[in-house]
Structure 1
C-alpha cells in the first residue's frame, strides 16, 4: 500500500498566522505516520478574487497549481481562521476557484477526506467558523471528518519557534492528523 498524499493548507494570508502554525504541526504529525505531506501557503499562490471574466481568459497559474495539488491528494488538513464568526475571504476564494471544473477534470475537492482545524487567541478557538467550512466543503463533495479541533488561546500554547509547546494540544493535533491518514489509507 502506498502512503497517502496529504495537502496541508491554512486559510490565512498573514505571515506567522496562528492557523499556519497549527497546520504545520498537523502536517508534521501526518508525516510522522508515514503519509506524504505537502504544506501549501495561500499567500504564495497569488490567487485573484474569483471572477468569471478572469476565468474565461484562462485559469490563473496559482489557481491551477492549487487545483492540481488538491486533485492528486488523498486527504487535506485544513485550518481556517475565524473572521466575524465565519470563514476567511482568502480561504473561501481559494475554495471557489478550486471547485471550478475544466472540461473532463474532476473537481478538486470531490471525494477528498478533510480534517478541520482552527486556532484563535479567543476563547472558542475559531469553532464558529468551522461549521461554515464544513458546510461549504460537504456541498462540493468533500468527505469531512466528524472530528475537528479548535484551539482556543492559541498564543498560550505556541513556543517562540512556532511549534505547539503544550503536550495536550499537541496530542489532540496529532490524533486528528493520524485519523485523517488512517481514513484516507482505508479508502485508497
Structure 2
C-alpha cells in the first residue's frame, strides 16, 4: 500500500513567506516519511472572498478545484502566519470555500475535511511563534471534523530562524519530523482505503 496523500499549503501568499519556507521543510520531511505530498500555493487559486450570494449564483471554478484537491487527500500540512492573534484571511477563506456543501450534500457532510488529519505550524517574527494563530486554526479544523495532530511547530523570531541551508531554530528542527511522523501515521490509519469494508 502506498503512503498517505497529504496536501501542503501555507496561509501566506507573499513571495518570500517564512511560513512557506517552513512548510517546504515539513513537506520534504513528510516525503521522507513515506507520504505522497502535493504542494500548492493558495495565490494560484485567486479565490474571491466567500459570499453566500456568489455561491448561490455559481460556485467559483477555482474554489471547486481547490475543494476537489482537499477531498482527494488524506490529510494536510498547513503553515499559517499569525494576523492580529488569528489565522490569515487567505487561509480562512480557502477553508470556508472548501467546507461548503455541493448539490446533494448536507451541511455536515464535509467531504473535504471529515475523517482527515492535519499537521499545523507557524513562523512568526514575534517571540510567541504564532501560537495564538495555531490555537485558532486548531479550533477551526476541529469544528469541521478534522483531527489535528497533538504536536505542532511554532517558530518564534522567524526572521532570524532560517539561513540558506534551511531552519536553524533548534526546537522547531526537532519537532518537525515528530509532527510529520504523527500526521503520516494518522493519515494512513484514517484514510478510506485503510478502513475495513
Question: Which position in structure 2 is the counterpart of 1:152?
Answer: 156
| Structure 1 residues 85 and 168: CA distance shift in structure 2, 3 A | closer
Question: Which position in structure 1 is the counterpart of 2:177?
Answer: 174
C-alpha distance in structure 1 between counterparts of 2:169 and 2:81, whole Å: 20
Question: Which position in structure 1 is the counterpart of 2:25?
Answer: 25
Runs of 4+ in structure 1 displaced over 6 angstroms? none
Question: Which position in structure 2 is the counterpart of 1:117?
Answer: 121
Listed one character per residue, the Cα deviations across residues 74-95 of structure 1 (whole Å, up to 9, x for unaligned) are 1101111100111111111111
Question: Which position in structure 2 is the counterpart of 1:83?
Answer: 83
Question: Which position in structure 2 is the counterpart of 1:12?
Answer: 12
C-alpha distance in structure 1 between counterparts of 2:159 and 2:172, whole Å: 12
1:157–1:169 Cα contact (<8 Å) kept: no
C-alpha distance in structure 2 between counterparts of 1:12 and 1:71, whole Å: 22
C-alpha distance in structure 2 between counterparts of 1:104 and 1:23, whole Å: 35
C-alpha distance in structure 1 between counterparts of 2:66 and 2:131, whole Å: 25
Query: TM-score, normalization: structure 2?
Result: 0.89
| Structure 1 residues 167 and 147: CA distance shift in structure 2, 3 A | closer
Does residue 66 (structure 1) correspond to residue 80 (structure 2)? The answer is no
Query: TM-score, normalization: structure 1?
Result: 0.93
C-alpha distance in structure 2 between counterparts of 1:156 and 1:11, whole Å: 20
Moved more, 36-45 or 166-175: 166-175
- Partner SS, residue 173 of structure 1: helix
Question: Which position in structure 2 is the counterpart of 1:103?
Answer: 103
Does residue 185 (structure 1) correspond to residue 188 (structure 2)? The answer is yes
Deviation at residue 165 of structure 1 after TM alignment: 3.8
Moved more, 20-29 or 150-159: 150-159
Work out the number of aligned pairs and report it: 187
Question: Which position in structure 1 is the counterpart of 2:133?
Answer: 129
Deviation at residue 180 of structure 1 after TM alignment: 0.5
Deviation at residue 153 of structure 1 after TM alignment: 1.3
Question: Which position in structure 2 is the counterpart of 1:140?
Answer: 144
